Structure 1
Amino acid sequence: MTIDIEKIRSETPGVDNSIHLLASGSALMPQPVIDAIINHTLLEARMGGYEAQAEESEKLEATYQSIATLIGAKKHEIALMENATAAWCHAFYALPLKAGDRVLTCEAEYAANYVAYLQRVKRDGIVIDVIPSDESGAIDTVALEAMIDERVALIAITWIPTNGGLVNPAAKVGKIAKRHGITYLLDACQAVGQMPVNVQQLGCDFLSATGRKFLRGPRGTGFLYVTEALIEGLEPIVIDHFAAPWVAKDQYQLRGDARRFENWENSYALRSGLSAAVEYAMAIGLDDIQQRSWYLANYLRGQLSDIPGAIIRDLGTEQCAIVSFTIDGKTPSNAVSQLRHKNIIIGASDPSSTRLDAEARNLPRVMRAAPHYYNTESEIDLFIAALKSA
């Protein structure tokens, strides 16, 4: 690994205040991201919001190219959003699904996505079918292929679930989708920022992501990738005069790029922070970030396994930087609260956030820790010691 941990930690003010092990919720921002947000806000204070946007227009425009580079896309395939759910919903609701169309999803699907499926079941008469998991808990790609028929209109999966370290075989799913000409929507909310992401290798038509998690950007930011092959044929569920200029009294014209999914008003200060976060991650290198964050997660799993009554709840043969666990006799909400009073930050995941998986495995509420590359082994050791006494 080539990451200079001392330098990274010196650029991360939050490490002085707590042991923060929740990158899967909202990671600690580095100083360049903080500076970008503050500086743009101060610029708005000095000259006004419109004027600040004009002053920084070139830098703000560069955000699209930075994100495209991060995920192996083209600039015109990127739309900036206020969060990953908004990005995902813009893609899903733009698809002209009709009664009888089948949507194939996974057992690890996120609640926000699944309730959208249910709404379109009620509204449009679509059918939701869940792809079985293999013996490791990941998507069974053989079973997926066997499920495909002429009624399958969409494959939509979560790459990494919110409730644990499972990494679904997203690229293998993409190959199957391409082979059968089926649209593929990938929720990469927990993947972007902790591992290399390349939409060409993944074979996805849409990819949604957030800024606040492993990418270390600000809350209120996210993005949507839309393959150029589909853009022109998609009518967003909501438009304004930025997405679709009013070209005649009785006519609008949708933009020719993915920004047809955006609207006119947004936070340019937060966009500045998102841009800085993307550049920061790429400067370190996503391969190195993955290697260190996944190493720390495995180190944590090893430490947890020495606690009597601890059960690691992560699935999959490949496991990422999210660690889910329970400990006999410890209530997650109480443990999280007690640790917080000691300035140690972890989280908990309710069964309702991934109901299919939770009910299939009879999961209770689980504790969730997600170390990132700025964390250290000694922080994990301190967390384990505090957890034992919580």
Structure 2
Amino acid sequence: MYAWEFIRADTPATSRRAYLHNAGAALTPAPIVTAMQEYLALEAEIGGYAAAAREAERLDGVYHSIARLINAAPDEIALVENATVAWQMAFYGLAQTFKPGDRILTAEAEYGANYVAFLQIARRHGARIEIVPSTPSGELDVAALESMIDERVRLIAITWVPTNGGLTNPAAEIGGIARRHAIPYLLDACQAVGQMVVDVDAIGCDMLSATGRKFLRGPRGSGFLYVRRAMLERLEPPMIDHFSAEWVARDRYELRADARRFENWENNYAARLGLGLAADYAMAIGMERIEARCRELSGRLRAGLARARGITVRDLGANPSAIVSFSHERIAAAEIVAKAAAANITIGASDPASTRIDAERRNLPVLVRASPHYYNSEEEIDRLIDLCSTLP
């Protein structure tokens, strides 16, 4: 078991700044950076094709690493450029079969990138987007979801941990409803993977999208899509090439039998390698341990901010995530982010357009967003609380 001090030593920037922006892009551990640099150096020495051939076993192992991380099978994993591509491959693979009146059920805090895709399919195919109400504490109301199910529901698509608001939606309870009614279930786990335990079998999702750069601490330009094996044959990728589908005759192609049908031939092998190593790194620490640490540090931050004059914590949910959102009664989010940067504290901001329905319902301004991770210290949390407590 890794000690937190060792992990901080593995993250050299922690000696220079309090980095609390992991919901944007986390700091990558030094061993992963080194491994990616070595792979790029190999490409520079012998060429990209030869490097991929030499490292084929390690590169294939990335599928196994991601599968272990989320309790899936390697053939249910596609490696793609980012979480958006992963989500779009799944959504558009299903949505191209929608007919007028088909219903998409989603949550109030759904992410903007997903919602505009819903709107496009509604315009193209006449599908209907319907918002499942929330509970008083902010989570998707599973009883309301159950009551909305009928034969026209073609998809349940939920963001597990929204981009702001601290919320953690009840992913497994939603999965139970989807399974009982045999409705495809697409889960956006972009902010969940690397922060908390993810078990696709226990959740019951048919498709799950995630990124490498956030709480998993992998490189930018990496992500993955999980598709349950039983769901694969129902999804035709919206775009294919001769890696995702074999050209078997002049007038015919055959899609790959595994989730790699959602990939294309060319990709960033160094980033893929980094993604797999990030999954291994997290599992070596232990996801249960990581989740507990994230909740401990974010709980400390929320409690401290709640005591600060002029600060309103904007988080929802009975079991909030490590994304802490807040605002000041007089000072704009951008100014607070800049003041924190001047004090060597890295945080971010979240625009209402990213979760428009929730933001309009709660009349939210641009929010300050701080997102601690397991490599942060209590002292770093307290530094941000102290800074916010002394705002004029």
Q: TM-score, normalised by structure 2?
A: 0.98
The equivalent residue for 1:113 is 114
Kept in 2: contact 1:3–1:288 (CA 8 A): no
Secondary structure (helix, strand or coil) at the match of 1:294 reads: helix
Letter in 2 for 1:40: Y
Worse overlay, 197-206 or 26-35: 26-35
Structure 1's consecutive aligned runs of 4 or more residues displaced over 4 angstroms after TM superposition are none
Bigger drift between 99-108 and 375-384 goes to 375-384
Answering whether residue 63 of structure 2 is matched by residue 64 of structure 1, we say yes
| Other-structure match for 2:388 | 387
Kindly state the Cα deviation for residue 267 of structure 1 after the two structures are TM-superposed: 0.3
Q: Mean alpha-carbon deviation: is it higher for 183-192 or for 302-311?
A: 302-311
Residues 1:204 and 2:228 are matched in the alignment: no
Q: Secondary structure, in 3 states, of the residue corresponding to 1:79?
A: strand
Tell me the equivalent position of 2:378.
377
What does 1:124-135 correspond to in 2, within 5 Å? Answer: 124-135=125-136
CA distance in 1, matches of 2:260, 2:35: 23
| 3-state SS in 1 of match to 2:24 | helix
Matched-pair contact (CA < 8 Å) for 1:103–1:154:
yes
- The aligned residue for residue 325 of structure 1 is 326
Name the structure 2 match of 1:261. 262
For residue 91 of structure 1, what is the aligned residue in structure 2?
Answer: 90
Size of the aligned set, in residue pairs, is 389
1:47 aligns with 2:46: yes
- Structure 1 residue 114 displacement after superposition: 0.1
Matched residues in 1 for 2:88 and 2:277: separation?
A: 25
Measure how far apart 1:376 and its partner are.
0.5
Counterpart contact for 2:305–2:388, Cα < 8 Å: no
- The answer to whether the Cα contact below 8 Å between 2:309 and 2:389 also exists between their aligned partners in 1 is no
CA distance in 1, matches of 2:228, 2:325: 33
Larger deviation, residues 13-22 vs 236-245: 13-22
Cα distance in 2, alignment partners of residues 307 and 386 from structure 1 = 10
Q: CA deviation at 1:386?
A: 2.6
Matching residue's letter, 1:110? Y
In 1, Cα distance between equivalents of 2:181 and 2:148: 12
User: 1:347 — aligned with what?
Assistant: 348
CA distance in 1, matches of 2:389, 2:273: 41
Amino acid of the structure 2 residue aligned with 1:32:
P
**In the TM superposition, what are the counterparts of 1:177-192 in structure 2 within 5 Å?**
177-192=178-193
**Is the Cα contact below 8 Å between 2:248 and 2:254 reproduced in 1?**
yes
Kept in 1: contact 2:134–2:140 (CA 8 A): yes
Helix, strand or coil at the partner of 2:162:
coil
Q: Which moved more, 1:338-347 or 1:221-230?
A: 338-347
Partner Cα separation in structure 2 for residue 191 and residue 367 of structure 1: 19
Using the TM superposition, give the Cα deviation of residue 3 of structure 1 relative to its aligned residue in structure 2, in angstroms. Answer: 4.9
Secondary structure in 1 matching 2:255:
coil
Q: Distance in 2 between matches of 1:221 and 1:382?
A: 32
**In the TM superposition, what is the alpha-carbon distance from 1:282 to its structure 2 partner?**
0.3
Identity among equivalent positions (%) equals 57
* 1:102-147 per-position Cα deviation (integer Å, ceiling 9, x unaligned): 0000001000000000000111110000000011110000000001
Instruction: Measure, in 2, the Cα distance between the counterparts of 1:311 and 1:335.
Output: 13
Show the counterpart of 2:36: 37
Structure-to-structure mapping, 1:265-284, within 5 angstroms:
265-284=266-285
Contact 1:78 1:226 in 2 (8 A): yes
Q: State how far apart, in whole Å, the 1-side matches of 2:273 and 2:113 are.
A: 27
Alpha-carbon distance in 1 for matches of 2:272, 2:168: 28
1:328, 1:131 → 2: CA distance?
31
CA distance in 1, matches of 2:58, 2:186: 29
1:251 Cα shift?
A: 1.5
Q: How does 1:165-314 map to 2 (within 5 A)?
A: 165-314=166-315
Q: CA–CA distance in 1 between the matches of 2:205 and 2:181?
A: 13
* Aligned mates of 1:23, 1:360 — CA distance in 2: 26
Q: How far does residue 328 in structure 1 lie from its aligned partner after superposition?
A: 1.4
Root-mean-square deviation (CA, aligned residues, Å) is 1.0
Residue aligned with 2:245, SS: coil
1:312–1:325 Cα contact (<8 Å) kept: yes
One-letter amino acid of the structure 2 residue matched with residue 61 of structure 1: D
**1:146, 1:246 → 2: CA distance?**
45
Match of 2:80 in 1: 81
Counterpart residue number, 1:123: 124
Q: Which runs of 5+ in 2 are unaligned?
A: none
- Give per-residue Cα distances to partners, 1:305-338, cap 9 Å, x unaligned: 1211211111010111110011211110111122
User: Counterpart amino acid of 1:94?
Assistant: G
TM-score by length of 1: 0.98
Secondary structure at 1:129 match in 2: strand
Q: Secondary structure of 1:97's partner?
A: coil
When structure 1 is superposed on structure 2, of 370-379 and 340-349 the one drifting more is: 340-349
Q: Deviations over 1:49-95 (max 9, x none)?
A: 11110110000000001101110101100000111011000000000
| Distance in 2, Cα, partners of 1:158 & 1:92 | 13
Q: Which moved further from structure 2: 213-222 or 245-254?
A: 245-254
Listed one character per residue, the Cα deviations across residues 350-387 of structure 1 (whole Å, up to 9, x for unaligned) are 00000010001111111000000000010111222233
Q: CA deviation at 1:342?
A: 2.2
Shift of 1:230: 1.4
Could you tell me how far apart the structure 1 residues matched to 2:238 and 2:302 are? 43
> What residue in structure 2 maps to residue 359 of structure 1?
360
